[in-house]
Amino acid sequence: MNETSISAVSSVIIEDGVAIARGVYISDHAHGFDRPDVFIRDQPLDRVAPVRIGRGAWLGQNVVVMPGVTIGAGAVVGANSVVRDDVPPRCVVAGTPARLIRQLTT
């Protein structure tokens, strides 16, 4: 199955009018993986940072949004992208990692 998943231990804010396609994963935390003697799933959280998806943004199919990211209002994230850094408002990003493709007209 290709379900969307939102995992928050602190804060994931999704503003009005956001479009989220199938298979999107949004998380405000990541597990540590420093100890080879402990399963990764059992290691403590390494990073917790809030996520914000701005008003009217659009996340394409299978997008991954990492901890600490803000996606600006009206931004578009292309399918299969991994967003590690903030995305400015009214722009298109895509890729792994996501990179600026173009600025949308205002």
Report residue 23 as tokens: 């298979």
Half-sphere exposure of 20 (CA within 13 A, CB side): 19
Q: Is residue 48 a contact partner of residue 66, using CB atoms and an 8 Å limit?
A: no
Identify residue 28 by its one-letter amino acid code.
D
Q: Has 31 been annotated as catalytic?
A: yes
Report residue 72 as tokens: 């600006």
Report residue 24 as tokens: 């999107």
Tell me: cis bond preceding 50? Omega within 30 of 0 counts. Answer: no
Choose the catalytic residue: 31, 35, 55, 99: 31
Q: Which positions are catalytic?
A: 31
